[in-house]
Amino acid sequence: MKSDNTRFALLLGASAIAMQLPGAAMAAEPADAAPQAAEEAPSNEIIVTATRQSQKLQDVAMTVNVATGEQLEKFKIFDVKDVQQLAPGLELTNVSGRNNTTTLRGISFDPDQGTSPAVQVYLNEIPTDAQTVYTAIYDVQQIEVLRGPQGLLRGLSAPAGAITIATRRPSFEKPEGYAQITGTTRAGYNAQMGASLPFSDTFAIRVAALVDGNRLNNVYNVTRKERSKSTTESARITLGWKPTDNFTGYLTYQYLEADNRQFQQVIGAGNTPYSQYFTIPVPGVGDLPALLAGVFVPDTTARSGPALTTDDYASVQDGAFRNINKSHIVNLNLDYDLGPATIAFVGAHQFSRLDIQRDLDVTNALPGYVQYSDVVTPYKVDTAELRLTSNNSEGLGWGLGAFYTKQTGTTVVNQDASQFWYAVSPNAQVNLPFAAIGLPIPGFTPFTLPNTLGIATRVNVPVNNQTWSFNANLRYRSGPLSIEGGVRYSIIKSVQTTQLTLSGAVNSGPTEIIPPALQRNTNKPVTGGVNISYEITPNLNVFAAYGHSFRAGSTGVAVPAGISNDLIRTNPEKSDSFEGGIKGTMFDRRVSYSLSGYYQKIDNFLSRFTDIYYNAPANQPATGFFDFNYNADATIKGVEASFDGRVSDNWDLGVSAAYTKARFDNARVPCTDFAGTGVPNRNGTPKVTGTGNVSYCVANGRLAEVPDFSLTANTELRLPMGSVTPFVRALFTYRPGFDSERAQYTYQSRELLNMFLGVRTDDGKWEFDVFARNLLDQRRVTNRGLGNGTVDSLIAGTFNSGFRQVSLTNPREFGATLKFNW
């Protein structure tokens, strides 16, 4: 029979485990086109593939936002943290340095919750994890953001939307490409290139590469004397084959290696966490805590760190943080026009290895002790989709499709957990009574104890998820009227288990910690939608759409032992959305605009609640803080609008805004509530309010830590001067302040302004510019912890660091870019 301490130690593996984009350029470049001269007025419509067919943006009966690769390059969009500057209602964050969190229309997703994402990302029409895709954005042809539930046209369902990223394909006509290099005053650099080499009119290749480095969140670790930094290298090759006019094929291989070392910023006065436990001197033994708990640290003046403010951009953790991502992606895209219909196949194989090494005690509640964790996640994903679609543009059309994806791999976590027993300085040796650590030897016979009573944990988390889905749709187009609808039937299977092994002071395992009834899950949802579009005039369309999406629940694979099932397993989520709007152009198509409104109801919204204080049953005396997945009903409603145009031949202007009210609907959710007030707080002695493993609060607040309103604006003014054209660009984003229920904090408004000043040649071959990011040098808190960081010891209680975690906007940064097109 396991001891209470052994049972308690089972929890130790727990911690281990659209964009409304600027449209100043009114036409998307063809894949093999040379860059358009700046002063030429665009002549083509924006063409999108949101419905899996090429259509004019104005004709698509949903809210779709587009950014070309040229726009990403000119606004220096090199990584995920910059993309949100182009998109009202889209937030892309990476607070921990380990994962990317995407929020769209107020609906958030944390990759740690183990479910499919709220916003599904597709790379060349294949679903791909955001952690890999967002790490290296280069040689991109076009990005499309589909807002609202996705449950029909693409393989995986998502409640908030989908982001499709298409890389540039090779040109069969002539050699062409670009090279671009950027450097900044904060040690940032980015060099990228792409080139097409046609060997004949039937075979061509395109090669592209990227080298990037930056300081991530610009945080300096005052304990280790190191600064956050990132290096990324990636290369891609695409083979294009067009043996006949009716058949095309593209085979792409991409390699990525990213090495991120990001320290977590903290603020606060700091503390001497050990000192409060050492109050009773015992001759011949040393200072012992008042409770004779068995903890001894000779240096009771050891501080967690100096007093720090937000302007310090500082970290205090003793250990390092390093996140290495090595990924291989192979993508195959085939299209065969049979005349009446087109058969298309897309398939991909991804193999990635993520290696995460970090100090879990990021606020340094235990000075001199590194609470290390090493997580290795190798996984492979195989995906295939086959579609057959009729080619008629008028009358009754149809489409059929089958989709399959499977992910396998085993995450291995090695983590030190000595802090649960007692904490010591790195060089301490102490005389400690046997009875003080619960050994079955009577009396106070002293013995010499080395500086740590170690417990090592090893957690194995096998992953085996697969999805089959089959879809069918019908469409009817006649003159100005277009109606399309369909259904998708999916079979979603997952096996979720966790094996925990303990060694050192306690030896046990491997032990399965997921109850048998929660290990295997199968869902068979039906999703889909219908939309209608009507062309009132050639320059004005109205549309209405309904969408239904589904996400399977998940089992927490590294949860504390002994907690209730509702904190281990979440239920499936269902979502229904209704949307209507108008799209139009004016002034000979020099100006485009859109306006839409929507209402969405989510049953059992899958959310993640972080840093929740918990207490296991009496026979498993475990307490501490943990992140839990949980279901909660929610309602979302909002309005989105955009205006993009060429005011004159030399002046482009784009303005986009979004208002979204995304709220929990009288939901009972896990919370940290020390004071017993029914709202999140850390006031007083750590405890659980009520009789459960965690406190519960009734929530009607935001689904995500984002404001309801957001706005972006961009402009470019050109001043032609003979063979060269000087230009000024500006990119402005506004996020108002708001009150956070989860953090019990009022976030300030953010007004971020990026400016670009440069010159380019009239033939579009050369361009040079200097720029300033965050020109106003606004330093705003974007994420704030509820209270000070702590570490819990089974013997000594809670150690308080005196610091809380925060994230800020990056400070002002200057840079320069040189680009050459051919």
Q: Is pLDDT at 436 greater than 50 in this prediction?
A: no
CA–CA dist 757, 784 (Å, integer): 35
- HEC profile of 2-68: CCHHHHHHHHHHCCCCCCCCCCCCCCCCCCCCCCCCCCCCCCCCCEECCCCCCEEHHHCCCCEEEEE
User: Is residue 10 predicted with pLDDT exceeding 50?
Assistant: no
Name every residue whose Cβ is closer than 8 Å to that of residue 371 and which is 6 or more positions away in sequence.
319, 359, 360, 361, 416, 419, 791
Q: Which of 202-211, 616-625, 808-817 has the lowest mean pLDDT?
A: 616-625
pLDDT above 80 (res 428)? no
* Local confidence band at 505 (pLDDT 50, 70, 90 cut-offs): low
Q: Classify burial at 746, counting beta carbons within 10 Å of its beta carbon; exposed 0-12, middle 13-18, buried 19 or more.
A: exposed
pLDDT attached to residue 489: 96
Identify which has the larger pLDDT, 112 or 207: 207
CA distance 599 to 606: 18
Beta carbons within 10 angstroms of residue 565's beta carbon: 10
pLDDT of residue 146: 83
Per-residue confidence (pLDDT) for residue 48, from 0 to 100? 65
Residue 421's pLDDT is what? Answer: 52
pLDDT tens digit sequence for 759-776: 999 998 999 999 999 999
Range of weakest confidence among 84-93, 156-165, 335-344? 84-93
Q: Distance between CA 67 and CA 755 in Å, rounded? A: 19
What integer pLDDT is reported at residue 784 of this predicted model? 92
Which ranges of 56-122 would DSSP assign to H, the alpha helix?
69-74, 80-83
Look at residue 133 and give its three-state secondary structure: helix
Q: How far apart are alpha carbons 278 and 297 in whole angstroms?
A: 8
Residue 668 confidence (pLDDT) above 70: yes
Residue 91, pLDDT score: 81
CB atoms within 10 A of CB 441: 10
Q: What is the mean pLDDT of residues 317-334?
A: 94
- Provide the pLDDT for residue 313: 97
Phi, psi (5° rounding) for residue 547?
Answer: -140, 145
Query: In the structure encoding, which two tokens stand for residue 414, read together?
Result: 């090695």
- Contact call for residues 626 and 559 (beta carbons, < 8 A): yes
Please give the Cα distance from 438 to 436 (Å, whole number).
6
The average pLDDT across 731-751 equals 92
Which residue in 648, 650, 645 sits closest to 717, CA to CA? 650
In this model, does residue 571 exceed pLDDT 80? Answer: yes
Which of left, alpha, beta for 254 (phi over 0: left; psi -120 to 50: alpha)? beta
Q: Does the pLDDT value for residue 368 go beyond 90?
A: no
Q: Which domains does the chain have, with CATH numbers?
A: 4-270+305-417+454-821 (2.40.170.20)
Q: Rounded to the nearest 10 degrees, how much is the dihedral formed by the CA atoms of 702, 707, 709, 713?
A: -140
pLDDT of residue 33 exceeding 50: no
What single-letter DSSP state applies at residue 555? B
The verdict on whether omega for the bond into residue 298 sits within 30 degrees of 0, i.e. cis, is no
* Cβ atoms of residues 264 and 315 within 8 Å: yes
Over the Cα atoms of the chain, what is R_g? 28
Contact 61, 135 (CB under 8 A): no
> How far apart, in whole angstroms, are the C-alpha atoms of residue 655 and residue 657?
7
On average, the pLDDT of the chain sits at 83
Structure tokens at 440: 């079955």
pLDDT at 1 over 70: no
pLDDT confidence band for 437 (50 / 70 / 90): very low
- Distance of alpha carbon 764 from alpha carbon 25, whole angstroms: 15
pLDDT digits (tens, 9 = 90+) for 188-199: 999 999 999 999
Per-residue CA distances from 392 to 53, 399, 531 (Å): 11, 11, 18
Nearest to 674 by CA among 744, 570, 747, 746: 744
Q: What is the model's pLDDT at position 511?
A: 85
467 vs 741, higher pLDDT = 467
Q: How far apart are CA 10 and CA 500, in angstroms?
A: 7
Per residue in 120-131, pLDDT (tens digit) is: 889 999 998 887
Averaged pLDDT for residues 516-542: 92
- Specify whether the CB–CB gap between 489 and 473 falls below 8 A: no
Residue 660 predicted with pLDDT over 80: yes
Q: Which pLDDT does position 454 carry in this prediction?
A: 61
* Residues 94 and 100 sit within 8 Å (Cβ to Cβ): yes
- Containing 197, the helix (H) or strand (E) segment is strand 189-198
Q: Comparing C-alpha atoms, which of 763, 768, 764 is closest to residue 818?
A: 768
**pLDDT mean over 491-500:** 91
Structure tokens at 109: 């997703």
pLDDT given at position 341:
96
Q: Check if the beta carbon of residue 113 is closer than 8 Å to that of residue 608.
A: yes
Q: Judge whether residue 235 has pLDDT over 70.
A: yes
Phi, psi at 618, each rounded to 5°? -60, -35
Residue 68 pLDDT = 72
Q: How many CA atoms lie within 13 A of 370 on its CB side?
A: 13
Task: Answer for the pair 63, 594: CB distance below 8 angstroms, yes or no.
Answer: yes
Give the alpha-carbon dihedral of 705, 263, 501, 368, to 10 degrees.
Answer: -130
Mind giving me the DSSP string for 689-730? Answer: SSSSSBEEEEE-SBSSSS-SEEEEEEEEEE--BTTEEEEEEE
Residue 712 has pLDDT above 60, yes or no: yes
Residue 439 class from Cβ within 10 Å (0-12 exposed, 13-18 middle, 19+ buried)? exposed
Q: How many CB atoms lie within 10 A of CB 422?
A: 24
Residues 488 and 152 sit within 8 Å (Cβ to Cβ):
yes
Residue 167 has pLDDT above 50, yes or no: yes
At 435, is the secondary structure helix, strand, or coil?
helix
Which amino acid belongs to residue 63? Answer: T
Per the model's pLDDT, the better-predicted residue between 546 and 163 turns out to be 546
pLDDT band at 103 (very low <50, low <70, confident <90, very high): confident
Q: Dihedrals φ, ψ of 70, to 5°?
A: -60, -40
Q: Encoding tokens for residue 547?
A: 């969408």
Nearest residue to 593 (alpha-carbon basis) of 634, 643, 554: 643
* 246 pLDDT more than 80: yes
How many whole angstroms separate alpha carbon 249 and alpha carbon 777? 48
- Residue 610 pLDDT level (bands cut at 50, 70, 90): confident
Q: Pairing relation of β-strands 314-315 and 220-221?
A: parallel
Q: Given the structure tokens 């504390």, which residue do they identify? A: 560
Count of other CB atoms within 10 angstroms of residue 773: 25
Please, which residues bridge with residue 663 across strands? 635, 702
Q: Which residue has the higher pLDDT, 212 or 16?
A: 212
Mean pLDDT of the region 291-302? 51
pLDDT of residue 424: 42
